[in-house]
Structure 1
Amino acid sequence: MATPGRRAQAPLETPAVILIEPQLPENIGATARAMMNCGLTNLRLVRPREQWPNERAREVSSGAHEPIDKAELYPSARAAMADLTRVYATSARHRQMIKTVMTPREAAAEMRTLIARGERVGVMFGPERAGLENDELSLADAVIRVPLNPDFTSLNLAQAVLLIGYEWYQSGDDTAPRELVVNGTRPAEKEELLNFFDHLERELDASGFLRNAEKRPGMVRNIRNLFQRAGLTRQEIRTLHGIVKELSSKRENRPRRRKTTTTS
């Protein structure tokens, strides 16, 4: 089994499939089978409930061993997407956050274009019972929602992977030619963007902007969503780091106001 780490940034020719806390090895095996049906092999597992590697997953995969054998384990959603430039989250529920919502077909067409440009993309799937948490969803750039019977939208994990994988496979290779970009305009990887979030949130905490503990989680998600929608490049991330650093240094060096007292 492959082990995670800081990868050499070789092209990722197909979307990575990221499973967050999958509960049953059988579901991972069925997912691997669905992936191979659609030409997908990059499987990333975040905190699977049962020990991995797992023979039951291999058995259920019905010979789709490549995703199983190459599967990578990660401690968090953030770590699993660190080297990617665009991540899609799957969700059947409507959330209280502003995200671009796409059908599998729309997302597949966009992924083809991005990969043709040399970008690295992934699709994130939540646990079988409850789906993705809001904090995990906030890390994604867009949401994929499958248009189904509104009275019953429930899908099992492998079904969801197969539906999105099918649209990817059907989208073929009718894409724009690969574009050459210079380093300054290359899209930021998730690790770079999330490191900026950490920097910004530290300074917002220090300034007291996030002092309301009850409202803090929602405020942080809203701030993250704002920057996620911007599609920032590496150079823009560096510029934002510089802005935050400069503003924080001005705050630290600002002389404190002296209290004045009056006497009668």
Structure 2
Amino acid sequence: MPTDRAQPAFVLIRPQMGENIGAAARAMWNFGLDRMRIVAPRDGWPNPSAVAMASGAGRLLDEAEVAGDVAEGLADRTYVYATTARPRELTKPVFSPEAAMRDAAARIARGEKVAVMFGPERSGMENADIAHAQAIITVPVNPDFPSLNLAQCVLLVGYEWRRACEEVTDVVVQGQRTDVAEHRDIEALARHYEDRLEEAGFFYPDHKAENMKVNLRNLWARMPLTRADVQMLHGALRQLLRGKTK
């Protein structure tokens, strides 16, 4: 059964190759989307090539709704986006994928039923298809090579849907020992280096010593150190001093 999470339906309009339908299913499931609709697939349905390409996302194909035409595929939807790379003479709002999925998330939260249409691989949707949509999604691609593979387009929109619905951390430090050093850890490290450098005569001449110490403290404060980093730097200094006394 489909997941309970509210989400847009992804509607594939006259897809031509089973492999692309399967790849689109994988792309959808990468981002937690499982409402696939297939309108007038060229090679009929079900399609063994789609199943083979879907790999772990075969459930989406088993549960996909198949429609004979665009109107049938969108019958229960209240707001529809059409993806296209080509300029159209139809008057509609044109969204970037990011803005479209933010808008979709807001509409779904209000109880609307949203769909995103994706056109056939060879030529994309016709104006008669896009006329069913309330808005257009256009990707800022290379104008000299604007065509996207069906699964690529599904992946891109699915990614933006995930970003619109989930809190995404832009940067994260990963590893086995990533506890961030506390201020007391940094302070102890700063004193350790300052004391040893003082003994070595580093802070010279005397009238510049205080400013040099401030700059050194500022250096430690700017560095995003983990507790493991601090321990390593303490150890490195101790080893250097041991080598000097041998």
**What TM-score do the two structures reach when normalised by structure 1?**
0.60
Q: Following superposition of structure 1 onto structure 2, how do residues 82-161 of structure 1 map, counting pairs within 5 Å?
A: 82-161=75-154
Q: Deviation at 1:18?
A: 0.5
Contact residue 81 and residue 122 of structure 1 kept, 8 A: yes
2:43 to 50, 56, 68: 50
Deviations 1:83-132 (A, max 9, x none): 01100001100011211000000001001101111111000011111111
CA distance in 1 between counterparts of 2:91 and 2:111 reads: 27
Amino acid of the residue matched to residue 34 of structure 1? A
Deviations 1:174-223 (A, max 9, x none): 7xxxxxxxxxxxxxxxxxxxxxxxxxxxxxxxxxxxxxxxxxxxxxxxxx
Contact residue 13 and residue 115 of structure 1 kept, 8 A: yes
Contact residue 31 and residue 157 of structure 1 kept, 8 A: yes
CA distance in 2 between counterparts of 1:45 and 1:126 reads: 11
1:220 counterpart residue number: none
Deviations 1:14-67 (A, max 9, x none): 110111110000010000000000111011111101121122111101210221
Identity percentage of aligned residues: 51
What stretches of structure 1 move > 2 A for 4+ residues in a row? none
CA distance in 2 between counterparts of 1:130 and 1:151 reads: 15
RMSD over aligned Cα atoms? 1.7
CA distance in 1 between counterparts of 2:11 and 2:105 reads: 18
CA distance in 2 between counterparts of 1:71 and 1:108 reads: 21
Q: Following superposition of structure 1 onto structure 2, how do residues 243-262 of structure 1 map, counting pairs within 5 Å?
A: none
CA distance in 2 between counterparts of 1:150 and 1:120 reads: 32
CA distance in 2 between counterparts of 1:66 and 1:107 reads: 27
Q: Deviation at 1:151?
A: 1.8
**What TM-score do the two structures reach when normalised by structure 2?**
0.65
Tell me, what secondary structure is at the counterpart of 1:139? coil
Tell me, what secondary structure is at the counterpart of 1:64? helix
Q: Following superposition of structure 1 onto structure 2, how do residues 46-85 of structure 1 map, counting pairs within 5 Å?
A: 46-85=39-78
Aligned length: 166
CA distance in 2 between counterparts of 1:36 and 1:119 reads: 22
2:158 counterpart residue number: 165
Amino acid of the residue matched to residue 162 of structure 2? Y
Q: Deviation at 1:172?
A: 2.0
CA distance in 1 between counterparts of 2:53 and 2:64 reads: 15
Q: Say if 1:31 and 1:130 are closer, same or farther in 2 by CA, change over 3 A.
A: same
Amino acid of the residue matched to residue 143 of structure 2? P
Q: Give the gaps of 5 or more residues in structure 1.
A: 3-10, 175-264
Tell me, what secondary structure is at the counterpart of 2:98? helix
Contact residue 12 and residue 120 of structure 1 kept, 8 A: no
Tell me, what secondary structure is at the counterpart of 1:112? helix
Contact residue 112 and residue 173 of structure 1 kept, 8 A: no
Which is higher, the Rg of structure 1 or of structure 2?
2
Amino acid of the residue matched to residue 96 of structure 1? E
2:236 counterpart residue number: none
CA distance in 2 between counterparts of 1:169 and 1:12 reads: 12
Amino acid of the residue matched to residue 163 of structure 2? Q
